């Protein structure tokens, strides 16, 4: 049973404040307002059982489904026994018995948040172990990639390039209407108000027309070994894009899919890239395009592809096992977005032909197939995006090898 | 709609669950907790979950059991203030202006005041929800908020924080009694944190086998005990499969209803294959279950059920 029942209300408040702090450290955004809400909620619910207490706090602190797991772990650790300090000490002691079963999802993050710094040593050993497998490209390689610091000149160049960037299909029409002198509908409200000014003697028509808005962008960036030279510069590009547009979602994939949208929102590019690097476990490993696309289609497509999103697929398309699954998944991706643009760095080679099986499988399903000529230059990437016509038509590449 | 008498709000988590059960909505304790807190603290409830798990139903059940009016705002792309909050009755306004002219009224301020009065205001759901009601504050259902755009979400912030709406021509309308607000989302996009922060959040998941069985028994009374057990066990097994869209509770109920219409007493592979379209709505999900797969699942399920007896 929980200890707060016997305690004075002051102690309960204190516990909730500490608990909120632990949640914040574990990565759940909990503001001070939520702490006050939690106190009010606990008072309102008049908590009787542990379960009720759990769900009361859950109702206030958790605002996203994926935070439920973190909350659950934090709650277990925090309220497991009397006094969380005792608990902390027990966890710190080296002879504390290890959990017999496999760690649950979210446990690592909460554990790290609560006891950061403690198991650095342990982690290092683990990393060495994993490094031994690096030569096998097909297997998952859990290797953290270190980003070199970006130079000021690079940042300036990236920003300048972004200014010139006009994305294909830059604006889409929405169903919303806005005042527009050349609009096709009469805005009766504004018309009436304007005519009131003249006492209603004559009616001066005002118009409205459809409003346009840049569509959401979803970038799927391949970070496998064969793409390693490019992935860093593309991340800079995506960071700049996230900075200027409102709805940009970024996913990285190698052997597994990672959503780094939130990490890229950091204002400073270096911070953003460091945050990105921290979320990803499979830098420069093998590629499993089909399974990554499958994961995207299943878990994210319905959440980020609404309202006419454009998908930028950035990969060389060198998939080992190009089979029916790949064709099926790329087809599904193509059907669920407004337009699918494939950016392939291999196109910079003069004699490139769409011969690799993976490329041949994916090509019929993309709307545009565009090159990125020079690796280190963002300017070239932007130019590649802007160029229309023949070079972007996937059918031209299909004909060449037919 | 029948007109039940208004009732006071529940006073504990247990009585909230009982209240929902009266209208045959079988909620688990976590949902009961969130609802109770929302009612007690006067906060909006934000319900997220897959399609067909009964999010919208919660608002309907709340309104019918509490005897409150249900006001529904279905969100869609391009939803604007004229459709969600209020609109002026322009035709009537123009007639009023003409009449005033004919009567020789030329005082502009007076005319404007007359034309932009409550008489010419058409109230849409959000404004209706702020009106006082003898039965108690209404239940406001804002359905599928993920379908509208960020601009509308931002507008909702004012409404949900202070329960007031500002009409430039008239002034601010404030609710004397804040409505019970239920917001649902299918998660086709992320709703902004600022809006979620003002609400109590709950993820509505798929029910456990036990609870789903109780739901089927309550909602589809004609179905036999044996069939309902088999239906629920099969659907639960189906949710463990790697499907693009798992069947929700609504699909389970549809299926149980369909099977009882067909006078089926027990599941067999042929019947399942023929009626799979009620449960699964994607062609490749259906293709995945073709052939011997259904038979294997049925056999496994039947042996499990036998073992449980």
Predicted pLDDT of residue B37: 94
Same domain membership, residue A361 and residue A308: yes
Same domain, yes or no: A177 and A114: no
Question: How many domains are contained in chain A?
Answer: 3
Residue A200 in contact with partner chain B when CB distance is under 8 A: yes
Q: Tell whether A43 and A56 lie within a shared domain.
A: yes
Measured distance CA(A301)–CA(A115) in Å, rounded: 35
In a domain, A140, yes or no: no
Amino acid A178: pLDDT: 84
The fold for domain B13-78+124-203 equals Rossmann fold (3.40.50)
Q: A144 lies in a domain?
A: no
Residue A48 tokens, joined: 């009787």
A325 to chain B, any CB pair closer than 8 A? The answer is: no
Look up tokens 């003409």; give the residue.
Answer: B98
Predicted pLDDT of residue A369: 81
Report the C-alpha gap between A22 and A26 in whole angstroms.
6
Q: Which of A103, A118, A133 is the last residue of a domain?
A: A118
Residue contact B34–A59, C-beta within 8 A: yes
A238 and A204 fall within a common domain = no
Contact A175 B78 (CB under 8 A): yes
pLDDT, averaged per 10 consecutive residues of chain B (309 residues), comes to: 69 92 91 94 92 92 93 90 90 86 78 84 93 90 90 88 88 91 90 89 93 92 90 93 89 94 89 91 85 86 85
- CB within 8 Å: A58 and B37: no
Q: Which chain A residues touch B91 with a CB distance below 8 Å? A: none
Residue among A189, A303, A328 minimizing CB distance to B189: A303
Beta carbons of A59 and B101 less than 8 Å apart = no
Contact A347, A359 (CB under 8 A): no
Q: Is there a domain that residue A135 lies in? A: no
Q: Which residues of A touch B85 (CB under 8 A)?
A: none
Answer yes or no: do B41 and A44 touch at CB < 8 A. yes
Task: Return the number of other C-beta atoms located less than 10 Å from residue A170's C-beta.
Answer: 12
Per-residue pLDDT of chain A (402 residues; tens, 9 = 90+): 444 444 445 677 888 888 898 888 887 888 888 898 998 888 888 767 778 888 888 999 998 888 888 888 888 888 775 454 444 444 434 333 334 444 455 555 565 555 554 444 444 443 333 333 333 333 343 344 334 445 556 656 665 665 555 555 556 777 788 888 888 888 888 888 787 776 666 778 889 888 877 788 899 988 887 777 677 777 877 887 787 777 889 999 888 888 888 888 877 777 777 787 787 777 777 778 888 999 999 888 888 888 788 898 988 888 776 678 888 899 989 988 888 888 887 776 667 777 778 888 888 888 888 766 544 445 555 555 554 444 567 777 777 766
Q: Is A32 on the interface with B (CB under 8 A)?
A: no
HEC per residue, chain B:
CCCCCCCCCCCCHHHHHHHHHHCCCCCCHHHHHHHHHHHHHCCCEEEECCCCCCHHHHHHHHHHHHCCCEEEEECCCCCCHHHHCEEECHHHHHHHHHHHHHCCCCCHHHHHHHHCCHHHEEECHHHHHCCCCCCCCCEEEEECHHHCCHHHHHHHHHHHHHCEEEECCCEEEECCCCCEEEEEECCCCCCCHHHHHCCEEEECCCCCHHHHHHHHHHHCCCCCHHHHHHHHHHHHHHHHCCCCCCCCHHHHHHHHHHHHHCCCCCCCHHHHHHHHHHHCCCHHHHHHCCCHHHHHHHHHHHHHHHHHC
A302–B33 C-beta distance less than 8 A: no
| A59 near B CB under 8 A | yes
A369 lies in the same domain as A313: yes
A chain contacts of residue B111, beta-carbon cutoff 8 Å? 196, 199-200
Alpha helices, H only, A79-221: 84-92, 107-114, 120-131, 152-164, 188-197
Q: Which of B40, B108, B151 sits opposite A199 (nearest CB)?
A: B108
Nearest CA of chain A to the CA of B30: how many Å? 5
Do A70 and A190 fall into the same domain? no
Facing B187 at nearest CB: one of A34, A174, A303: A303
A33 and B CB contact within 8 Å? yes
Task: Evaluate whether residue A167 is within a structural domain.
Answer: no
Q: Which domain holds residue A237?
A: 217-401
Instruction: Find the residue in A nearest to B203 (Cα).
Output: A65
Other Cβ atoms within 10 Å of B31 Cβ, number: 25
Cβ <8 Å between B201 and A41 = no
Is the distance from CB of A183 to CB of A209 less than 8 angstroms?
A: yes
Smallest CA–CA distance, residue B224 to chain A, in Å, is 34
Q: Looking at the complex, report in whole angstroms how far the Cα of residue B291 sits from the nearest Cα belonging to chain A.
A: 20
B121 contacts in chain A (CB < 8 Å):
none
- The verdict on A191 and A224 lying in the same domain is no
- Note whether A306 contacts B202, CB cutoff 8 Å: no
Nearest to A200 among B101, B151, B200 (CB): B101
Task: Give B-chain residues touching A174 at CB under 8 angstroms.
Answer: 77-78, 149
SS (H, E, C) B61-79: HHHHHHCCCEEEEECCCCC
Shared domain for A83 and A196, answered yes or no, is no
User: Cβ–Cβ of B88/A199 closer than 8 Å?
Assistant: no
Are A264 and A306 in a shared domain?
yes
Q: Decide if A145 is inside a domain.
A: no
Do both A31 and A101 map to the same domain? yes
Nearest CA in chain B to A64: B201
In a domain, A352, yes or no: yes
The answer to whether the Cβ–Cβ distance between B41 and A41 falls below 8 Å is: yes
Query: Which of A31, A33, A38, A55 is the best substitution to test chain B (most B C-beta atoms within 10 A)?
Result: A55
Of A45, A65, A201, the CB nearest to B203: A65
Residues of A in contact with B38 (CB under 8 A): 59
Which residue, A183, A213, A243, sits at the end of a domain?
Answer: A213
What are the sequence ranges of the domains in chain B? Answer: 13-78+124-203, 86-118, 209-308
A203 and A274: one domain?
no
What pLDDT is stored for residue A144 in this prediction?
Answer: 40
- Same-domain status, A176 and A38: no
The verdict on a CB contact (< 8 Å) between B37 and A303 is no
Cβ B77–A298 below 8 Å, yes or no?
A: no
**Check: complex ipTM more than 0.90:** no
């Amino acid at each position: 049973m929980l200890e707060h029942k016997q305690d004075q209300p002051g102690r309960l408040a204190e516990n909730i404040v500490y608990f909120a702090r632990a949640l914040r450290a574990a990565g759940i955004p909990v503001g001070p307002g939520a702490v006050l809400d939690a106190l009010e909620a606990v008072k309102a619910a008049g908590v009787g059982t542990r379960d009720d207490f759990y769900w009361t706090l859950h109702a206030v602190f958790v605002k996203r489904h994926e935070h439920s797991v973190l909350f659950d772990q934090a709650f277990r650790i925090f309220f497991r026994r009397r006094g969380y300090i005792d608990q902390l000490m027990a966890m710190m002691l080296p002879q504390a018995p290890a959990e017999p079963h496999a760690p649950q999802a979210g446990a690592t993050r909460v554990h790290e948040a609560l006891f950061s710094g403690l198991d650095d040593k342990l982690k290092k050993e683990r990393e060495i172990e994993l490094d031994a497998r690096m030569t096998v490209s097909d297997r998952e390689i859990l290797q953290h990639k270190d980003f070199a610091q970006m130079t000021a000149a690079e940042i300036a160049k990236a920003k300048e390039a972004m200014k010139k960037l006009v994305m294909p299909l830059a604006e889409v029409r929405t169903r919303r209407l806005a005042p527009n002198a050349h609009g096709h509908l009469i805005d009766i409200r504004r018309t009436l108000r304007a005519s009131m000014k003249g006492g209603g003697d004559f009616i001066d028509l005002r118009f409205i027309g459809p409003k346009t808005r840049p569509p959401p962008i979803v970038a799927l960036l391949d970070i496998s070994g064969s793409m390693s030279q490019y992935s860093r510069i593309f991340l800079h590009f995506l960071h700049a894009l996230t900075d200027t547009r409102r709805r940009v979602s970024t996913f990285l994939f190698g052997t597994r899919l990672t959503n780094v949208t939130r990490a890229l929102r950091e204002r400073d590019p270096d911070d953003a890239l460091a945050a990105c690097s921290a979320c990803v476990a499979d830098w420069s490993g093998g590629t499993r395009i089909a399974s990554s696309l499958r994961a995207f289609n299943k878990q994210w497509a319905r959440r980020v592809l609404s309202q006419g999103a454009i998908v930028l697929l950035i990969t060389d398309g060198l998939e080992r096992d190009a089979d029916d699954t790949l064709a099926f998944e790329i087809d599904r991706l193509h059907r669920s977005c407004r337009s699918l643009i494939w950016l392939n760095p291999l196109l910079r080679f003069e004699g490139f032909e769409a011969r690799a099986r993976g490329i041949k499988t994916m090509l019929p399903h993309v709307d545009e197939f565009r090159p990125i000529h020079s690796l280190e230059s963002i300017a070239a990437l932007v130019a590649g995006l802007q160029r229309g016509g023949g070079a972007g038509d996937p059918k031209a590449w299909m004909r060449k090898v037919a | 709609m029948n007109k039940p008498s208004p009732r006071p709000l529940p006073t504990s988590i247990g009585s909230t669950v009982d209240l929902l059960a009266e209208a045959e909505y079988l909620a688990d304790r976590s949902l009961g907790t969130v609802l109770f807190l929302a009612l007690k603290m006067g906060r909006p409830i934000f319900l997220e979950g897959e399609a067909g798990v009964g999010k919208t139903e919660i608002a309907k059940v709340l309104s019918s059991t509490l005897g409150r009016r249900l006001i529904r705002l279905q969100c869609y792309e391009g939803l604007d203030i004229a459709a969600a909050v209020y609109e002026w009755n322009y035709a009537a306004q123009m007639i009023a202006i003409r009449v005033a002219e004919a009567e020789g009224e030329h005082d502009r301020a007076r005319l404007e005041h007359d034309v932009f009065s409550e008489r010419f205001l058409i109230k849409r759901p959000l404004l209706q929800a702020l009106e006082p009601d003898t039965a108690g504050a209404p239940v406001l259902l804002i359905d599928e908020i993920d379908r509208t755009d960020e601009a509308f979400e931002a507008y909702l912030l004012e409404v949900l924080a202070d329960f007031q709406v500002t009409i430039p021509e008239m002034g601010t309308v404030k609710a004397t009694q804040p409505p019970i607000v239920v917001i649902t989302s299918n998660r086709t996009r992320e709703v902004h944190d600022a809006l979620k922060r003002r609400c109590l959040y709950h993820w509505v998941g798929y029910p456990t086998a036990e609870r789903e069985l109780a739901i089927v028994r309550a909602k589809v009374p004609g179905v036999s005990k044996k069939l309902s057990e088999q239906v629920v066990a099969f659907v639960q097994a189906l949710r463990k499969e790697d499907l693009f869209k798992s069947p929700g509770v609504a699909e389970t109920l549809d299926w149980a209803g369909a099977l009882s219409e067909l006078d089926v007493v027990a599941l067999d592979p042929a019947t399942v294959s023929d009626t799979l379209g009620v449960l699964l709505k994607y062609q490749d999900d259906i293709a995945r279950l073709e052939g011997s797969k259904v038979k294997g699942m049925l056999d496994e399920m039947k042996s499990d059920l036998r073992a449980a007896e």
